[in-house]
Chain A
């Protein structure tokens, strides 16, 4: 059904369609509208989920862990400090192989207090074993959340999944949204290792190095298998509902000499910059990176690459720039921009391309090339 919605509302609507058994929720700006909207659905009887209003994000993830292993689909949403506060349990959820789905509305970290978009919160969970996708539109927030349940719960994956959307820049803006009748797109929740009191097992007991190491390898094996599962689910989604997604969203890349790689809303903004640059005769393209974990293989050979990082790893560099460098061997022009919600327009992005100096890094509006 065609309607209009904010990014947060789109996530809540996808959760309503997925019908989790338990939703644990704790408020934090700019995510709060997701859990408020879900509370409305539950109270009105439009969604038959157990809504657990926990006292912290650490407990939100702990409650999802308990519910997921007991045998029901689970969802939570968070942002920024909330995500960091639950960090211990984020690791636990992946290690316990529980397909919990979480929306993370990307927001900067204090101090000072700043509620605007930045990707450092999600990237700080990089090594937890969670699948991570970043969306660029309201429609994609809805579609990616629906697909997240199917991907995470697939027996070849059984890992939790985080759907990332930019704080305010997407969570609070209104765009058109086409909701779907999901039919049997999502199979009933089935966890092979769900708690069964007739077959009592120990979950996560003390484990020696040899077994522990094997369990870690098993996570990585599933992360590798997830690439194929993601492609399958995205293909099925396109067949059923007519919207296609892949590891990246490529815009005018075929003949491009220079490609802008960015994530989230900046990746969409880049498309406008590309049109401007093309008008000037610059053969530019945009590759919006959707998947962060598992990280996709990118075809960037022979092109200049401009990477926009809305994050930073202090003492090292932009997280995405580094990932591109290590995956492709290409030395990108690394632009650090948009931290703490800094405004970055398509004109700015076009300037990044025009003034690019591959192999260097610049902090937009703060430092020159370094």
Chain B
């Protein structure tokens, strides 16, 4: 089944035309997370429920009684997405229904306030897909730092730049040994589409971590959203991979980038949040990127 999907969807024109996220969203101009949501839902199809904690998607879907969504969306409190999805998944299973349950949460709701519920749901083996779309700060409330904000980034609560590194969410998830986990980026929708398809074909807790550049938060022009995502991958700052039943495989766009990463400056130069980085911090960031590339490469080779 998985192989058929992979063979048949080789370009964007093969993605279904049906829309589950309409054009009337309340997203900011240049929002990449709404692009991601569009492809996630195209992959999941109509028999899907989204569970959304407080995050940008709370806003993007629109204001009652209107909605931009064409699947049921269950909005729930900030810390509760994975637990709510757990109950929903169990209930559908009890009723003999195979409805997809997808928790769609931002980085704050995942790596900070929601991590306990997320860990619990994965440990229990909940049959659902948890997607974290990561814009590396509390975007919905005006760009305060989250645990997912990278080193050096200026946010409204780290006006001098964040002094500590981004929390490595993926290693935390990996420690739960889920049957499927992957990273993705809004600039590679076909890759995201295929990963969602594959995730939903597997029983158990699945996880996808999407890097979702944010023009107002990262302070770059709205038309550069796709370019910013590509630069994150090309510089090796963000690595696309899948881990199926513990076996890691690096995805196409990152395979090339990891061999010859573009200079980190290409990625950070265009972002206001990294303005006036001191050389020591920049050096530390370079080291972190290099170490991460080496670690992922070693894992794929099976030497760690």
Q: Give Cα A123 to B61, complex, Å.
A: 36
Closest to A195 in B: B72
Q: Give Cα A337 to B79, complex, Å.
A: 37
B91 within 8 A of A: yes
- Interface size for B (C-beta < 8 A) is 45
A113 within 8 A of B: no
Closest to A197 in B: B47
A21 near B64 with CB under 8 A, answer: no
Shortest C-beta distance, A52 to chain B (Å), equals: 6
A204 within 8 A of B: yes
User: What size tier do the contact residues of chain A reach?
Assistant: 35 or more
Q: Which stretch of B114-122, B174-182, B292-300 is in the interface?
A: B114-122
Q: Which residues of A contact B46 (CB under 8 A)?
A: 197-198, 200
Shortest C-beta distance, A82 to chain B (Å), equals: 14
Shortest C-beta distance, A273 to chain B (Å), equals: 45
A88 near B91 with CB under 8 A, answer: no
B93 within 8 A of A: yes
B51 near A54 with CB under 8 A, answer: no
B80 near A89 with CB under 8 A, answer: yes
Q: Which residues of A contact B99 (CB under 8 A)?
A: 195, 197
A245 within 8 A of B: no
Q: Which of A12-29 contact B (CB under 8 A)?
A: 21-22, 24
Q: Give Cα A59 to B99, complex, Å.
A: 21
Q: Give Cα A37 to B105, complex, Å.
A: 35
Q: Give Cα A53 to B61, complex, Å.
A: 32
Q: Give Cα A42 to B80, complex, Å.
A: 25
A203 near B116 with CB under 8 A, answer: no
B86 near A202 with CB under 8 A, answer: no
Shortest C-beta distance, B233 to chain A (Å), equals: 33
Q: Which of A318-370 contact B (CB under 8 A)?
A: none
7 smallest CB-CB distances across A and B, nearest first, come from A55-B120, A66-B87, A63-B87, A59-B83, A70-B91, A66-B88, A62-B83
Listed in ascending order, the chain A residues whose CB lies under 8 Å from chain B are 21-22, 24, 49-50, 52-56, 58-60, 62-72, 74, 88-89, 92, 195-198, 200-208, 211
* 5 A–B contacts from the bound complex (CB under 8 Å): A22-B94, A56-B117, A62-B86, A63-B83, A203-B72
